[in-house]
Amino acid sequence: MNNSILYRLDWWLVLLYLLLVTVGITNVYSATYNDTLNSIFDFSQPVGKQFLFFLVSVFLGIIVLSLNVKFFEHFANVSYFISILLLAGLFLFGKTVSGATSWYNLGGFSLQPSEIAKLFTGLMIAGLLSKFQSDLKSIRTLFKVACCLFIPAILIVLQPDPGSALVFLAFFFPLFREGLNYSYFLIFLSLLALFLITLSFQIFIAIGIICFLIFVVFFILKRLNSKIKVWPFLLVLVLSVGYALSVDYIFNNVFEQRHRDRINIVIGKEVDTRGVGYNINQSKIAIGSGGFMGKGFLEGTQTKGGFVPEQHTDYIFSTIGEEWGFLGGFFVILLFCFLILRIVISAERQNSKFRRVFSYSVAGLIFLHFFVNVGMTLGIVPTIGIPLPFISYGGSSLLAFSIMIFIHLNFDANRLNDW
């Protein structure tokens, strides 16, 4: 290394990171504000814990920055193994909070391994894809990647915390970037569409719609090209109906009522504003009542009144919308945009495939969290309980995302190194 890493560090990214954390601590302070709370150094209060985790993150981040970039490639397998162990260990030593066994209790602090698993799975995927012989067109590689993603995802679903498991979809972005076939994306979209159709209508009507759609597509293609064969369509039809039936079965017999409710609200089947739709409705009221300028710091009536459940964690964006108004919401959206784009641009200029894939994973994870979380608070995405990176209260999440950013900063500073 010619110069100290400090000269090559992406200080703009550091600034974005610090801004987001500041927004987070400010709004966690407001969302948890009460008479006894007057200092962010009170470590028994959420905001104090959050601040402490930020300090720990920066400390670990400095260590991460000082490590040799090669270290992470060697460390990838080990870290992944550790995270799988941590996830599996939950079933033995985990702490159960509101039905999900997702935490280790560490004397006053809780550790959520699923957050750490995202980081380490990112390293693992980067390691897999950067192997000399790996090729995303080969079934062998695809199978490895799929296993690498599904093992932690399934462990997390079993907690049960399906929301956190869903986050592993974020790895689709680096995979796609590295040459995953478009058809996978189309298949994924079709499956999602079928899923929604099945849930939106009764099963027989849904099957009817599926048949109708496939026939329409078939006849249109037949017009354009008379040589087209019938049997692939029949196969698709049978698979689709089978898929619809199994979705219906899983939805009604495997899912718990709260999962069903969450999905039903978003597809518009439930409009019970006092019951399960309460969160989203109150969140929309909070944001909507903020207006252009917002009600001001600590002045949010929805926030103070505790009308929005889980406001300092998953619904933190509603505090921002209420107290800082459109300006605040817009500012936060802008920060996330800049952050994601800056990481992607840096990744594209990366010489090493390992580092590119990892940075891309970081961008993808941040994007997915941002999309799902803010979308949920705004009432356009189903209620999925995942945090807003850097902002939501939650030490594990802040720690995991901070370290992702610091690893990326390390990679970015060394992007011209060839090895």
Partner 1 sequence: MIKKFFLPAMTLLTALLFVGRLISLQLLNSSYKLLSDGNAVIEKEIYPERGYIYDRKNKLLVSNQPVYDLMTIPENIAPFDTLNLANLVNISKSELKDKLVAAKRFSIKLPSVVVSQISKERNAIIQEKIWKYEGFYLQKKSLREYPNPIAANVLGYISEVNKNDMSKDGYYSLGELTGRQGVERYYEDLLRGVKGKKFLQKDRFNRIIGPYEDGVYDVKSKGGKNLILTLDSELQEYGELLLQNKRGGIVAIEPKTGEVLSLVSAPSYDPNLLVGRMRSKHYRELAIDSISKPLFDRGLQAQYAPGSPFKTLNALIALQEGVIDSNTTYRCDHGHYYARGVFMDCHCSYGTKNNLLSGIYKSCNTYFANVYRKIIDEAGDSIEEGMNKWNKHLKSFGLGDYLGYDLPVGKKGFIPDASYYDYWYEKGGWKSATVVSNAIGQGEILTTPIQMANFTATIANRGYFIKPHFLKTVSDGTYQVLHEKKKTAIDSLHFETVIEGMHQVVERGTARIARIPGIDVCGKTGTVENFIKIEGVKTQLTDHSMFIAFAPKNDPKIAIAVFVENGYWGGRWAAPIASLLIEKYLTGEVKRKWLETRMLNGSLLAEYEKPFSGQPFIINE
299 lines the binding site for partner 1 (CB under 8 A): yes
- Following DSSP, what letter does each residue of 328-344 receive, concatenated? HHHHHHHHHHHHHHHHH
199 binding partner 1? (CB under 8 A):
no
User: Minimum CB separation from partner 1 for residue 246, in Å?
Assistant: 29
Segment interacting with partner 1 (CB under 8 A) among 9-17, 71-79, 128-136, 294-302: 294-302
Q: Which of 47, 76, 374, 388 binds partner 1 (CB under 8 A)?
A: 374
**Residue corresponding to tokens 């993808």:** 364
Task: List the structure tokens of 271.
Answer: 């409009």
Q: How far is the CB of 336 from partner 1 (least distance, A)?
A: 7
Candidate list 252, 301, 349, 416; residue touching partner 1; CB under 8 A: 301
DSSP per residue, 241-301? HHHHHHHHHIIIIIS-HHHHHHHHHHTTS---TTTTTHHHHHHHHHHHHHTTT-S-TT--H
Is 287 near partner 1 (CB under 8 A)?
Answer: yes
Least distance between partner 1 and beta carbon 380 (Å): 6
Is 358 among the residues that bind partner 1 (CB under 8 A)? no
Amino acid letter at 368?
L
Q: Identify any residues that bridge with 96 across adjacent strands, giving them in sequence order.
A: 101
Write down the least CB distance from residue 5 to partner 1, Å.
26
* Phi, psi (rounded to 5 degrees) for 381: -135, 150
**25, 69, 174, 344, 364 from 349: Cα distances, Å:** 33, 16, 14, 9, 17
Q: Are 47 and 28 in contact (CB under 8 A)?
A: yes
Q: Report the site for partner 1 in 326-345 (rule: CB under 8 A).
A: 326, 329-330, 333-334, 336-337, 340-341, 344
251 binds partner 1 (CB under 8 A): no
Q: Please, are residues 301 and 286 in contact by the beta-carbon 8 Å criterion?
A: no
Footprint on this chain of partner 1 (rule: CB under 8 A): 173, 176-177, 179, 282, 284-292, 299, 301-302, 304-307, 321-322, 325-326, 329-330, 333-334, 336-337, 340-341, 344, 348, 360, 363-364, 367, 370-371, 374-375, 378, 380
